[in-house]
Amino acid sequence: VKRFHSCILVESEFFDKLFHTSKYREHVTGVIEIRERSSNIVDAAIQFLYNVEPDLDKDKIGDFLDIAEFLMIPRLKAFCVKWLDQTKMSNALIAICLPLCTLYELDVPSVSDYIKKNLIELMNGVELLNIDANSLQNILSDQYL
């Protein structure tokens, strides 16, 4: 159980709706229970509303994009996109980033540029063997590729 300021939480459309829509019990109680996500990730996302930036890495980026979508925090999503764009890409990181870019409809220039420059190597390697059909379609829909 943690206490937060509702005036900070309402930056999230998720919290704003719960606190300000009378049909939700959270409107009356002021208590929100989130069980569907890791408590560490939820806490870090809320801390982000207090301007505490999370430490992102390739293993956590998917969780942070997920919680940014779930809690409807566009600024956190933009923070994740910026991190992706500024991170040195590799074949292994592309295998992680490409499905995220497809799933969350992200435009990350460094991902697109890396794929364009290294397509032959990526196609000959094993990193993209397990990407989903939507990610593959995303690559193939690019006119350049």
Q: How far apart are the first and last CA of the chain?
A: 50
Q: Return the pLDDT at 79.
A: 98
In contact, 64 and 76? CB cutoff 8 Å: yes
Q: Return the pLDDT at 98.
A: 92
pTM: 0.86
| Residue 28 in this model has a pLDDT that exceeds 70 | no
Q: Mean pLDDT, to the nearest integer, of 67-79?
A: 97
Pick from 56, 55, 68: which is nearest to 12 by CA? 68
C-alpha to C-alpha distance for 80 and 61, rounded to whole angstroms? 7
Q: Mean pLDDT, to the nearest integer, of 108-119?
A: 91
Percent of the chain with pLDDT over 90: 56
Q: What does the pLDDT look like over 30-49, one tens digit per residue?
A: 777 788 788 899 999 999 99
Q: What does the pLDDT look like over 91-102, one tens digit per residue?
A: 989 999 999 999
